[in-house]
């Protein structure tokens, strides 16, 4: 990311069971903005991957560790997370916080802590969330946003911005034109700084 005009790699992580859900639409719009300023974008659909929960074995934290001991799709995800310059994390709000799929991925990212400098420090992150209630506090969206802020502050990553909005039915969020524009602008900032 230090080279001027270098094409940045953006990894989009979709944490919803709906491939075309509201949080996915927000993430897609962020990706559109990133592509418009020269980034390459890859999208991973977390719900469709085989990712087991962390088993708290701490193998990933031991000296000379080779990483997480669980051999599943996260092994591929780890590589992509480390190789990308920026992440877009998209999740609906489920029961007052992020989806289980998103939380599962975040928990397993614990294995990257020994590589924090390479994996997290200076990583640029955009967050996209959707929720059914009309209020981001009452819906629990703010709980999830705070979790992202705390986690990525701890590992010295940079949350460039967050977009979130209310929508219940799949695809409904696309009707919020100002939010769509905000998401696209976030994608540009994610890449351009």
Length of the chain (residues): 193
pTM above 0.85, yes or no: yes
Report the pLDDT value the prediction gives residue 1, as an integer from 0 to 100: 44
* pLDDT on residue 6: 60
Beta-sheet strands, E only, within 72-113: 86-94, 97-98
- pLDDT tens string 85-139: 999 999 999 999 999 999 999 999 999 988 887 888 889 999 999 999 989 999 9
- In this predicted model, what pLDDT tens digit does every residue of 132-183 receive, in sequence order? 998 999 999 999 999 999 999 999 999 999 999 999 999 999 999 999 999 9
User: What's the first-to-final CA gap in the chain, in angstroms?
Assistant: 10
pLDDT at 175: 97
| The pLDDT value given to residue 116 | 81
Decide: residue 178, CB within 10 A, 0-12 exposed, 13-18 middle, 19+ buried. Answer: exposed
Q: What CATH number matches the domain at 25-192, 3.40.50.360, 2.40.170.20, 3.20.20.70, 1.10.600.10?
A: 3.40.50.360
Q: pLDDT of 32-89, one tens digit each?
A: 999 999 999 999 999 999 999 999 999 999 998 889 999 999 999 999 999 999 999 9
Each domain of the chain, given as residue ranges in start order, spans 25-192
Give the residue from 152, 165, 161, 166 showing the smallest Cα distance to 187: 161
Computed on alpha carbons and rounded to an integer, the radius of gyration of the chain in Å comes to: 16
């Amino acid at each position: 990311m230090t080279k001027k005009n270098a094409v940045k790699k953006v990894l989009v992580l979709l944490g919803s069971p709906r491939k075309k859900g509201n949080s996915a639409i927000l993430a897609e719009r962020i990706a559109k903005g990133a592509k418009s300023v020269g980034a390459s974008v890859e999208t991973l659909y977390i719900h469709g991957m085989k990712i087991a929960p962390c088993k708290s074995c701490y193998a990933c934290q031991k000296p000379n560790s080779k990483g997480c001991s669980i051999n599943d799709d996260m092994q591929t995800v780890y590589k992509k997370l480390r190789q990308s310059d920026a992440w877009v994390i998209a999740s609906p709000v489920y029961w007052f916080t992020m989806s289980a799929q998103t939380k599962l991925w975040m928990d397993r990212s614990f294995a990257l802590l020994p590589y924090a400098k390479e994996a997290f420090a200076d990583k640029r992150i955009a967050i996209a969330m959707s929720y059914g209630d009309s209020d981001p506090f009452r819906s629990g969206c703010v709980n999830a946003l705070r979790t992202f802020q705390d986690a990525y502050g701890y590992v010295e990553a940079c949350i460039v911005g967050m977009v979130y909005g209310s929508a219940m039915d799949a695809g409904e969020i696309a009707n919020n034109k100002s939010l769509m524009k905000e998401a696209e602008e976030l994608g540009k900032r994610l890449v351009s700084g």
